[in-house]
């Protein structure tokens, strides 16, 4: 058993509570990780939205962790104590999608990532009173000093890369970059429109630039975000509130080869389809409750798909992104602002206000005991 200072959510409408909890020893296929830092992702807001019901509480969220392996459970061979790791999404490893190298399409993705428990329904954290805490959000629940992860959702990384910036590669940055490089497979000279330029959208823009895109159009309501998009590789920026949005994105041309929506807003997803050329591909990733409706004729010559985690195999894709970063081609660290764990509520508020793109929570120093 290991004590951890962790951010516990006990009320969907209340601030986080920083508490000392107890993390179980790693079981078969698991490892105890001393978390260095964790990104705060929009999907964490989905976790605190109440959609999973009161039984989800209390919960430790966080699913963009990076840290150092402290101990491994039975059967773990790919990592060892002392290894530096990035934590990504979990998957079963046994279904047809997992066996064919497509873990983001795991048949049990939701069970492994959104239930907040192990697939068998068990948890691994208790609070000071001994009561259980939901603690397997995306197979990690990394808003704390220590967490249990599975061998499947750990990615071993070189020790010379700063752990304080790596966490967002596990979800948000991977999702945006993967949608461009893995799903759309944007080719040199092709065009893309990115709707929503938060961390996911900006990761897509950086990936599009790295892939040699001919035209990269950023669409957002926030003028500061549009400016950042231009700095990071967008060739044009369009106000998302423009009444002639589709025409502005098309700019008199035949349309875009690829459109990418991060907002999950029904009207915006519709616009993302309408800006496409024929042929054209629209990739949707936004986490929300809006329903997307489209007239069948609008899909003539066009493909629309929704993807989890950028269709990535984390053990392959995250090192690839780190390699691009080392070469100066993917400066994702420019999106990050660090906060101590104790300031998690300020980090969340800043993200809501749009004054920070990617908050990263830095954990207080800890020793497993």
Number of domains in the chain: 2
Are residues 349 and 211 both part of a single domain?
Answer: no
Are residues 9 and 137 both part of a single domain?
Answer: yes
| pLDDT at position 50 | 83
Are residues 250 and 277 both part of a single domain?
Answer: yes
Domain membership of residue 270 (yes or no) is yes
Q: How far apart are CA 219 and CA 193, in angstroms?
A: 7
| pLDDT at position 288 | 78
Are residues 29 and 160 both part of a single domain?
Answer: yes
Q: Which domain does 56 fall in, by range?
A: 2-170+331-362
Average pLDDT of the residues in 207-232:
97
Are residues 274 and 159 both part of a single domain?
Answer: no
DSSP state of 9: B
Domain membership of residue 120 (yes or no) is yes
- Ranges of beta strands (E only) in 12-72 are 17-23, 30-39, 65-72
Determine which of 129-143, 158-172, 287-301 has the lowest per-residue pLDDT on average. Answer: 287-301
pLDDT at 74 > cutoff 90: yes
pLDDT in tens, 116-155: 899 998 889 999 999 999 999 999 999 999 999 999 999 9
- pLDDT band for position 53 (50/70/90)? confident
Q: Express as a percent the part of the chain with pLDDT over 90.
A: 91
DSSP state of 128: T
Are residues 239 and 217 both part of a single domain?
Answer: yes
pLDDT in tens, 232-261: 999 999 999 999 999 999 999 999 999 999
How distant is the alpha carbon of residue 336 from its chain centre? 13
Average pLDDT of the residues in 310-339:
97
Average pLDDT of the residues in 35-40:
97
Are residues 270 and 200 both part of a single domain?
Answer: yes
Are residues 157 and 183 both part of a single domain?
Answer: no
**What is the residue-averaged pLDDT of the chain?**
95
Are residues 215 and 246 both part of a single domain?
Answer: yes
Residue 204's nearest CA partner among 215, 193, 214 is 193
| pLDDT at position 369 | 58
Are residues 163 and 193 both part of a single domain?
Answer: no
pLDDT at 264 > cutoff 70: yes
Are residues 238 and 204 both part of a single domain?
Answer: yes
Q: How far apart are CA 367 and CA 278, in angstroms?
A: 57
Are residues 231 and 279 both part of a single domain?
Answer: yes
Q: How far apart are CA 224 and CA 119, in angstroms?
A: 42
Domain membership of residue 367 (yes or no) is no
């Amino acid at each position: 058993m290991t004590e951890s200072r962790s951010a516990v959510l006990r009320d969907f409408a209340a601030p986080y509570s920083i508490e000392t909890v107890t993390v179980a020893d790693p079981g078969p296929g698991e490892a105890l990780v001393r978390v260095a830092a964790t990104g705060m992702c929009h999907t964490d807001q989905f976790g605190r939205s109440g959609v999973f019901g009161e039984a989800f509480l209390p919960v430790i969220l966080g699913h963009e962790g990076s840290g150092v392996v402290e101990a491994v459970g039975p059967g773990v061979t790919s990592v060892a104590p002392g290894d530096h790791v990035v934590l990504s999404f979990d998957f079963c490893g046994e279904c047809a999608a997992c066996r064919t190298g497509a873990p983001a399409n795991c048949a049990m993705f939701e069970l492994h990532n959104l239930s907040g428990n192990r697939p068998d329904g068990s948890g691994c954290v208790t609070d000071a009173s001994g009561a259980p805490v939901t603690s397997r959000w995306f197979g990690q629940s990394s808003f704390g000093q220590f967490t249990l992860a599975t061998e499947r959702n750990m990615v071993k990384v070189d020790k010379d890369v700063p752990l304080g910036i790596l966490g967002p590669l596990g979800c948000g940055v991977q999702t945006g970059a993967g949608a461009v490089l893995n799903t759309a497979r944007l080719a040199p000279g092709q065009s893309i429109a990115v709707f929503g330029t938060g961390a996911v959208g900006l990761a897509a823009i950086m990936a599009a630039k790295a892939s040699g895109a001919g035209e990269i159009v950023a669409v957002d309501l926030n003028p500061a975000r549009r400016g950042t998009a231009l700095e990071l590789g967008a060739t044009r920026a369009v106000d998302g509130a423009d009444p002639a949005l589709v025409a502005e994105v098309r700019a008199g041309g035949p349309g875009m080869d690829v459109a990418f929506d991060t907002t999950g807003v029904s009207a915006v997803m519709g616009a993302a389809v309408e800006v496409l050329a024929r042929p054209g591909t629209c990739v949707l990733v936004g986490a929300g409750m809006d329903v997307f409706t489209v007239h069948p004729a609008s899909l003539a010559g066009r493909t629309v798909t929704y993807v989890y985690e950028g269709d990535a195999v984390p053990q392959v894709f995250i090192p690839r992104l780190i390699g691009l970063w080392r070469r100066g081609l993917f400066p994702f660290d420019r999106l990050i602002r660090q906060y101590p764990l104790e300031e998690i509520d300020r980090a969340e508020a800043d993200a809501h206000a749009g004054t920070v793109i990617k908050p990263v929570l830095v954990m207080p120093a800890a020793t497993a005991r």
